[in-house]
Structure 1
Amino acid sequence: MPMNLSDVALFCAIVASGSLSAAGRQAGLSPMAVSRRLAALERELGVRLIHRTTRSVALTADGETFLPLAQTMLDAREAATATFSEQHEGLSGVLRVTASHRIGRALVVPLAVRLMAENPRLHVDLTFSDGIVDIVAAGIDVAIRVATLQASELVAVPVADNPRILCAAPAYLAAHGFPGRLADLDAHACLTLHAMEAWTFRQAGHPVAKRIKGQLSASSVDAVHAACIAGAGLALLTYWDVAQDLADGTLNNLALEDAEPEHLAIWAVLPTRQQMPARVRRFIDGLKTELVVSLPAQGR
């Protein structure tokens, strides 16, 4: 006889709420009915899952082992239900996304607006931060990140190339000239982020950290970007920070003879889990489609 997933869900509700009566109130069941269904699940598994007292419940060792398996089964049921219902009714639920301010405004917001228009039952919750958000603790479905990723238990899906671009405003270049080689940066005003004393380039296939200096440093990419457009100096920004500026001539892409900026990518970072909700999958696919454009020669 197949396992009753309703009983599995009730078991998880007991653990989450801390009592049989609280789980029963959530499910519209009496405490006696909850107790009978928990006992039925335990008989099917052949183990005791929960110690009961009149005041509280506690997981047994077998219950501790079964809990993550139970949650996986419920996640799989939810994913299967969502997959087939969304084929007919569109995306639903809440899509929680975090990204940097610039990537969020330029890429995430337009895509979120389109997905909501196409799927009236879909809700989107956006968190924009230039810092790293703990997506597991915050309950985030997907984080859009550009920085080099560190080893972790999170799942990282590549979305698009996003090379760094050395750039400056035409007014600055008219007044101070173009740098030709990496060493020439010493003679230029370089706009920096706080705690970033060096820019990473590649020379002959090897990474090189070039120490930089300038009159202005800032805590955000937005501030560096604005100062660069205003003609305050050179900036090292990612392609998707400056794509529109390069296209309309607001900024110039500076190619050095002996070095190229570090190559980066845009990543979709997910919590560690086997099932990806359809709304998350559609968001990532949509982002990939948005980013299929020609990159500058150094990024190809």
Structure 2
Amino acid sequence: MMKLEGISTFVTVAHAGSISEAARRLRLSKSVVSERLAELERQIGAVLLHRTTRKLTLTEDGTAFLERASRIARDVEEAAADMAERRGQLIGPLRISAPVTFGRMHLGPALYPFLANNPGIELSLDLDDRRIDVAAGGYDAVVRHGSIIDSRLMTWRLATSQRVLVASPAYLEAHGTPGSIEELGQHRGIFYANRGIADWSFPTAKGTATVRGCVGLRVNNGDMMRDAAIAGLGIALLPTFVAGAALKSRELLAIDVGVQAEGEHIFIAHPEGRMPSAKLRALADHLRTAFGYPPYWER
């Protein structure tokens, strides 16, 4: 008879991509993880994983087994969580991915009291600015800024997010302050690399106006964009949750070119077709309250 711990271990290894990472997530030794996998393969009578010194890949049998094994592991976790929720408790693992800057500046401080009030939740938070595959990565949900492109995700809005053009007083003194989108195109820009383009877009009555400035810096991190703008390297289009404190201290100044960048949102998204747990619903409700409406970084 197959053991649930073996099935759960296999699912974790498949999602983690290595025995070492799976052992870290499960808080087990690598030898225990390997023993569970070997026992599961003996019980099934099939090799589920190709193991080499450099990487680990699923066999054809492993790929076929993973879908049902994932469903079994998830159903068991949800059943245990449901029983706990009937007793008024929120318990069990919860794995979330979030952007680095927003996670450090705002998500973390909002999470700490939630976790303190719900000590039975085992939260794993991965901070990563890349777009990740929620289901394949083994996440319960992702927190993201902007728009959610993946149609397989169900999204809940957590907060609004405005973006503003900013530059340092020294940069504007040296290069002038643009007063229109035409003048904006003559300036050096600091761009977010993960958007894949080096331009600024603004909705207007005649459609979207796109401005391409000279690239002073492209980087995939909001903190560095803000710091580069403070250092006088150019103009940046930043969310207020990143630039708010620097605007208040006047390390950065807002620039008005006659049009505003399209508003965005902070989202939490979970895979479509999967019933969100009570833990995830409670977390989303807590974050909405913690951020406020409008969110505190825009007041």
TM-score exceeds 0.5: yes
Alignment of 1:134-173 (within 5 A): 134-173=133-172
| 2:217 aligned residue | 216
Cα separation, partners in 2 of 1:249 and 1:55, compared to 1, 3 Å: closer
Cα distance, 1:102 vs structure 2: 0.4
| In structure 1, distance between residues paired with 2:81 and 2:273 | 12
Q: Is the 8 A contact 2:189 2:234 kept in 1?
A: yes
SS at match of 1:191: strand
Cα separation, partners in 2 of 1:189 and 1:15, compared to 1, 3 Å: closer
Alignment of 1:1-300 (within 5 A): 16=7, 56=45, 77-85=79-87, 87=88, 90-194=89-193, 195-204=196-205, 206-257=207-258, 259-294=259-294
Cα separation, partners in 2 of 1:283 and 1:72, compared to 1, 3 Å: closer
| In structure 2, distance between residues paired with 1:82 and 1:254 | 52
| In structure 1, distance between residues paired with 2:105 and 2:185 | 32
Cα separation, partners in 2 of 1:290 and 1:248, compared to 1, 3 Å: farther
Cα separation, partners in 2 of 1:109 and 1:178, compared to 1, 3 Å: same
Identity %: 26
Cα distance, 1:128 vs structure 2: 0.6
| In structure 1, distance between residues paired with 2:170 and 2:103 | 29
| In structure 1, distance between residues paired with 2:71 and 2:138 | 20
Q: Match of 1:83, as an amino acid?
A: E
SS at match of 1:231: coil
| In structure 1, distance between residues paired with 2:164 and 2:136 | 33
SS at match of 2:248: helix
Cα separation, partners in 2 of 1:294 and 1:116, compared to 1, 3 Å: closer
Q: Is the 8 A contact 1:99 1:145 kept in 2?
A: yes
Which range moved further: 112-121 or 95-104? 112-121
| In structure 2, distance between residues paired with 1:70 and 1:279 | 19
| In structure 2, distance between residues paired with 1:222 and 1:14 | 41
Q: Match of 2:135, as an amino acid?
A: V
How many residues align? The count is 246
SS at match of 1:261: coil
Uncovered stretches (5+) of structure 1, i.e. residues with no partner: 1-9, 18-53, 58-65
Cα distance, 1:112 vs structure 2: 2.2
Cα separation, partners in 2 of 1:237 and 1:115, compared to 1, 3 Å: same
SS at match of 1:137: coil
| 2:32 aligned residue | none
| In structure 2, distance between residues paired with 1:137 and 1:255 | 42
| In structure 1, distance between residues paired with 2:225 and 2:188 | 12
| In structure 2, distance between residues paired with 1:78 and 1:68 | 16
| In structure 1, distance between residues paired with 2:198 and 2:168 | 22
* CA-based RMSD: 3.5
| Rg larger for | 1
Cα distance, 1:69 vs structure 2: 9.2
| 2:38 aligned residue | none
Cα distance, 1:273 vs structure 2: 3.7
Q: Match of 2:272, as an amino acid?
A: T
Cα distance, 1:280 vs structure 2: 1.2
Cα separation, partners in 2 of 1:68 and 1:267, compared to 1, 3 Å: same
| In structure 2, distance between residues paired with 1:107 and 1:179 | 31
| In structure 1, distance between residues paired with 2:115 and 2:214 | 45
SS at match of 2:251: coil
